[in-house]
Structure 1
Amino acid sequence: MRASTSRDAAGTTRMPRTRNDGHHNDQERPPIAVWPCNQEKARSAHGQLCGRLITDLSNPGDTVALLGFYDGRAPRAAAQAERRTVGFEVDLARVRRAFASTSALPEHQRGLVELHAADARRAPEVVADLVGRAGLVAVWLPDPAPDRPGRELPDGHLGRLRGAVYAEAAGELIGAAAQLVAPGGAVAVVCSGRRQKSGGIDRVAVAAHHAHQAGLVYVQHILALVDRVRDGGLDHAFPALPASGAAGRGESGATVIAPAHDDVVLLAKPRTHEPDEGTETGAGVGR
């Protein structure tokens, strides 16, 4: 269930005390949560995850910032949920798809959407009026550059990078999120696990490290299932585990990191003082 929230006389959302005290020991929220995100045939797993991120981690009327939103499903879900939406995506083709997707919305919902074809790391400069005011900031960390050349990505896309350079750029993206989010608000860092390989960069660890440096606190690790649950199990053919001693740690780990879920690192910005009137904060998070 959603953690309770309250509003003061000015209508400002107040987070549960466990989110306001600068610690991450929320007694109502377990350290790990599982979100089944591929149970509706009419919606993709990514679409279902976008919808749940918006509805679970923000309140109607909040401003939601989307950093690297891939396509139009996240902006569309936010607008349909009556959130002002400010999105950044460096891939122009994806921005066009997002415009096409949101253009079909009713007029009042279209008016809630603001999309920028720009490097999300520059978001605090581009939308300076949003700094410290977003109720939720959702960050998508793309796959690092593959060993073999694939689809050509635009300059500024993290998917062109790997290793320490990728980790540094991811830190800049999370730093931008920390600037945008309001005290008491939520930051959700989404790391797709469907193409993760052993021996590669651990994006969850990168997110946790840079979040700490940016002054954010860890709240919860969400496993967003991208495979359908059927008959009490996942509809996925998992590789067989190697026999004991038959493989090194890298190969063995690869069988455990199966493409059945995305990782979402849920973070919060501590509230160090009472918010000014009109400042937005995120909703109670997790179920």
Structure 2
Amino acid sequence: MSVWLAANDTEPEPSCRYGCCRPVSTLLARHLITTCTRLGGLVIDIDAADHAIVSSALTTGCRAVATFSDPARAHRCWQALQRLHPRHDLEVADLRLAPTGTTHRMVTDLLGTADLVIAKRCCRQSEQVGLALLAALVKPGGHLAVITSLHRAGGHVHDPAPDIIDNARQAELTYLQHIVALHVPVRGGRLEPPPAWRVPAPGPATARCAGLPISTRLHTDVLIFTKPRQSPRVADLPTENAGGDPS
């Protein structure tokens, strides 16, 4: 197990109504991309929440594809990328609208091409793209990073990590590492959340999240898998090509 510092300057808004899903920070995205890819490699962000992963990929010299279930988020992401990057960077950024349940059709042209696929498994409100599809996107020698945390399920706190690891192994991926990504700064060996984080802002998401352990707001878990270079098969998936730049 490793610990990565991945703090934002401010606490991000939850990306689900329960408050347990948070966007991937720019620092965490850069950690993952520099660790798991090479110059010119392809990074795929499944069900993206914002521009952080795509922007980090472009900054490090990678190509990037992101799927969005929400057109408004896709539009905001494209606007942010236009502010942050020159035109030649944007030529290797591909944003694809993928309404819930259609992701597999939007990425079939990318099977077996990704150096790094990043997916989230934080609560049951987020789209649960199957591990078989995620594994099929990864090229031999490439990596899958699944970002997860504790969440509510049937009135109880549930840790999805064991099921994710089991399903990934069934998809013929090799489990490499568990990384704890800290969302708060560390000073003098102690976690020091900014003062604004200690008094949650009122709102429905905070209220639904209040019963979760504080650790779910201080860190997320990152599970890293790789596809063996001698993979015996590729998942049997539809071959329809679709998608496009929502800008």
The TM-score with structure 1 as length reference comes to 0.63
Question: Which residue of 220, 229, 251 corresponds with 2:177?
Answer: 220
Displacement of 1:260 after TM fit?
1.4
Q: 1:91 to 1:118 in 2, by over 3 A?
A: same
Q: Quote the offset at 1:48 in angstroms.
A: 1.1
How far apart are 1:35 and its partner, in Å? 0.2
Aligned mates of 1:214, 1:174 — CA distance in 2: 7
Matches within 5 A, 1:129-144: 129-144=109-124
Q: Is the 8 A contact 2:46 2:118 kept in 1?
A: yes
Farther-moved stretch of structure 1 (88-97 vs 261-270):
88-97
2:3 paired residue among 30, 34, 40: 34
Distance 1:114 1:258, change over 3 A: closer
Counterpart-to-counterpart distance in 1, 2:39 and 2:59? 10
Partner of 2:62: 83
Structure 1 vs Structure 2: percent identity of aligned residues?
29
- CA, structure 1 residues 83+123, in 2 after alignment: closer, same or farther (shift >3 Å)? farther
**Uncovered stretches (5+) of structure 1, i.e. residues with no partner:** 1-31, 146-156, 159-169, 240-252, 274-287
Give the match for residue 65 of structure 1: 44
TM-score using structure 2 length? 0.72
Cα deviation for residue 190 of structure 1 reads 0.8
**What is the aligned-residue RMSD (CA, Å)?**
3.0
Which sections of structure 2, spanning at least 5 residues, go unmatched?
13-23, 199-210, 232-247
Report the CA distance between 1:143 and its aligned residue: 2.4
Higher strand share: 2
Q: Where does residue 261 of structure 1 map in the other structure?
A: 219
Structure 2 matches for 1:144-155, cutoff 5 A? Answer: 144-145=124-125
Q: 1:173 to 1:187 in 2, by over 3 A?
A: same
Counterparts of 2:173 and 2:121, CA distance in 1: 17
Q: Distance in 1 between matches of 2:78 and 2:178?
A: 31
CA distance in 2, matches of 1:107, 1:131: 27
2:113 alignment partner AA: R
Give the conservation status (yes or no) of the 8 Å contact 2:43–2:114: yes
Tell me which of 24, 29, 54 is aligned to 2:33. 54
The size of the alignment, in residue pairs, is 204
Using the alignment, how far apart are the partners of 1:82 and 1:42 within structure 2?
A: 27
Most deviating of 254-263 and 218-227: 254-263
